[in-house]
Structure 1
Amino acid sequence: MPLDVYAFGSALVDIQLAVDDTLLAELELQRGNMYLTDRVRQEQVLEKILGGRITDLGALGDRVNLAAGGSAANTVYGITQLGGTAALCGKVASDPFGHFYIRDIQQGGVLFNQKMVDGMTGTCIVLISDDAQRTMLTCLAVSSEITYEDLNEDYLKNSTYLYIEGYLFDSAVATETLLRAIATAKKHKVNVALSASDSFCIERHKDQFLHLVKNDVDLLFANAQEAQALTDTDSLEEACRVLPRWCRHCAITDGGRGSTLLFNGVRLKINPYPVIAIDTTGAGDADAAG
């Protein structure tokens, strides 16, 4: 069946809870950052905040909110809610989190038919501050072990876009897979969209990001900080002059200042709608869905 988007990314169960900045300081976490960590560290954080363990989430009740997440998953969920068609390639384990993930993402109308594997499903503790900023502690677990054999080539060949999250560069296995997926997409004239994901992720894998953006990406999604990190510039204005030389279509968000579209040499400024932010988790992913 034809699809608008086939997305490739880390399948993570988000564990969301509210915190204050004092607690973030006690945990030695810088607000707004994404930290790659392990299950032991996640357990320590939950113990301190809630006195519970990640394996005992059923007993925590409404003190946390669970959701099928991951950057690419957030975007394809948004696409289906807007009436589009989308599928997700991700990897989950045969554990309670994996079963929850599949049920939740499919209820959102996203095609997801991956086989479960042994191990642990990836999880992300999302700490939401009073001003809606989110700080994340991510344990990738099996989500980082996605291989080319996990991809559905029929979905890929029949999609308008292959959508890839930049976070995948944090896994050598996933990086190899995404490069093969891009080659297949190009062979079948499928457009490639890339989410820059995180400015720190760009710093960790700068050369790989630049190679993709300059050679393979048809549509780039980034926020202002990511655009500046990618272009080594000090302002969004400067970044917007550099990016069109590399990629013909770019969509750049800038928080409460709105967003900028760069399409085939034309620059369009989109003003924001004033709102009271409650939770910015997946805000950029939702923007990409639109």
Structure 2
Amino acid sequence: MRSAPLVTSVGEIIVDFVSARAGTTLSGTPGFSKHAGAAAANVAVGLAKLGIRTSFIGRVGRDPFGHFLTSELRKTGVDTARVRIDDSHRTRLAFASRTRSGGRDFAFWESSPADEQLQPSDVDLSHLARSGIVHIGSFLLLKEPARSTAFHIAEKVSRLGSMVSFDPNIRLPLWRSPGEARRELLKMVGIASVLRLNDKEAYFLTGIRPYRRAASKLLAEGPILVAITMGSRGCYACTNRHSSFVRGFKVRVVDTTGCGDSFLAALLFGILKERKRIRNFSESTLGSICRFSNAAGALTATRLGVITALPTRAQVERFLNANRIRT
């Protein structure tokens, strides 16, 4: 019998078609390259590449894209035994344009994709209970039945003693309204143990611009640890006992897609590596974990796509040795 995963990621997995030429529109690009992606899947792969036993739970369509996605996950070492194949709904696709500075803009294709059909019966709670951390993908909150399934999982897992990880990964065009997005995302924030989001998302959820105050507001909602990322500027992380701002790294940016997912995977890796409760982390420990996470995110920005760009532990450690910074 295989060992239980240390982390199980539940949520969305998507085919990203990334513009072959930066600085062009989706209609004007000469072509696209195909990549497996989506935040929940990226976190699973990021952890697997860092050496953590990881499984993924979600739905894909019974179509060539669904087959491609599950195959790509397996190649990285992620357990896909609990990915459900949907006969009635197709795999979600995303088309991404890139700015010359490495930014991106997404257009999503498929009005009723397979990932939104996740049901409680698709999820083995005993499997989740054996995971130290369960990561919930935010796309599950977009529509029913996946929304109710996500809250059911998070509440059950939390009561069973596993940590819940969450990243809002806000894509407002996919929501019915900003108000609905804020309401549902904050409900999950209230269940989560570990919360990662960027500074713009923190402002959207709290209405507070200074990131330290926004983090305090979010921490009061229930998480044990809140990490706010700010691109190359760095990140700010806090618990009820300590906080740490860690400066980022300057790299040659090719594609920023998945940098936040890479950061979160590295953050969860650091939490597991410590083998102690987050509440007992010192300021130094918090800073060290954030520095490692910043490095993982920076490395991801240097290559096109996400899964191929997500770094291994050895790559992150080499990068850190070559780029010493102070907190």
State the one-letter code of the partner of 1:186: S
Mean Cα deviation higher: 117-126 or 69-78: 117-126
The whole-number CA distance in structure 2 between the counterparts of 1:155 and 1:86 is 12
Instruction: Tell me the matched-pair count.
Output: 255
Deviation at 1:231, TM superposition (A): 1.2
* Residue type of the alignment partner of 1:280: T
User: Which residues in structure 2 correspond to 1:140-179 (within 5 Å)?
Assistant: 140=110, 141-179=113-151
Task: Using the TM superposition, give the Cα deviation of residue 20 of structure 1 relative to its aligned residue in structure 2, in angstroms.
Answer: 4.8
Corresponding position: 1:49 with 2:29: yes
Query: Does the 8 Å CA contact 1:199/1:225 hold for their aligned counterparts?
Result: no
2:99 paired residue number: 129
Deviation at 1:89, TM superposition (A): 0.9
- 1:273 maps to which residue? 249
- Report the CA distance between 1:2 and its aligned residue: 2.5
Deviations 1:105-140 (A, max 9, x none): 110111112232223211111222211101111235
Determine helix, strand or coil for the equivalent of 1:90: strand
Q: 1:116 is matched by which residue type in structure 2?
A: I
Structure 2: how far apart are the matches of 1:100 and 1:199?
A: 24
Contact conserved, 2:140 with 2:146, CA < 8 A, in 1? yes
Deviation at 1:199, TM superposition (A): 6.5
CA contact (8 A) 1:258 1:271 kept: yes
Distance in 2 of aligned mates of 1:95 and 1:173: 21
Report if the CA contact (8 A) 1:162-1:185 is conserved: yes
Amino acid at match of 2:94: C
The answer to whether the aligner puts 1:139 opposite 2:141 as a matched pair is no
Determine if the alignment matches structure 1 residue 105 to structure 2 residue 107. no
Q: 2 CA distance for matches of 1:78 and 1:87?
A: 12
**TM-score for the superposition, normalised by structure 1:** 0.82
Q: What is the TM-score of this pair, normalised by structure 2? A: 0.73
Give the letter for the 1:281 counterpart. Answer: T
Instruction: Determine the C-alpha separation between the residues in 2 that align with 1:172 and 1:178.
Output: 10
Q: Specify the code of the residue in structure 2 equivalent to 1:72.
A: A
1:233 to 189, 198, 208: 208
Q: How far does residue 210 in structure 1 lie from its aligned partner after superposition?
A: 2.0
For 1:2, which of 1, 4, 12 is the aligned residue?
4
Which amino acid is the alignment partner of residue 284 of structure 1? G
Identity, % of aligned pairs? 24
CA distance in 2, matches of 1:188, 1:248: 16
User: By how many angstroms is 1:160 displaced?
Assistant: 0.7
How far apart are 1:236 and its partner, in Å? 1.5
Note if contact 1:253-1:259 (Cα within 8 Å) is conserved in structure 2: yes
- Distance in 1 of aligned mates of 2:38 and 2:147: 16
Q: Which moved more, 1:146-155 or 1:259-268?
A: 146-155
Letter aligned with residue 49 of structure 1: T
Rounded Cα–Cα distance in structure 2 between residues aligned with 1:197 and 1:174: 16
- Which fold has the larger relative contact order, with Cα–Cα distance below 8 Å and residues 6 or more apart in sequence? 1
Q: What is the rounded CA distance, in whole Å, between the counterparts of 2:90 and 2:171 in structure 1?
A: 27
Q: Which consecutive residues of structure 1, in runs of 5 or more, have no partner in the other structure?
A: 28-44, 51-62
Does the 8 Å CA contact 1:203/1:229 hold for their aligned counterparts?
no
- CA RMSD after TM alignment: 1.9
Any conservation in 1 of the 2:19–2:29 contact (CA below 8 Å)? no
Paired position in structure 2 for 1:82: 50
Distance 2:166 2:38 in 1: 14
Residue 286 of structure 1 is matched in structure 2 by: 262
Which SS does the other structure have where 2:220 is aligned? helix
Task: Give structure 1 regions of 4+ aligned residues with deviation exceeding 3 angstroms.
Answer: 18-21, 199-204
Inter-partner Cα distance in structure 2 for 1:155 and 1:184: 12
Alpha-carbon distance in structure 1 between the residues aligned to 2:211 and 2:118: 34
**Counterpart residue identity of residue 195, structure 1:** D
Distance change (3 Å), C-alpha of 1:95 and 1:212 = closer
* Amino acid corresponding to residue 147 of structure 1 in structure 2: Q
- Please name the residue that 1:32 is paired with: none
Equivalent position amino acid for 1:71 in 2: A
Equivalent residue, structure 2, for 1:258: 234
Distance 1:102 1:213 in 2: 28
Distance 1:264 1:237 in 2: 13
Query: Distance in 1 between the 2:180 and 2:140 partners?
Result: 12
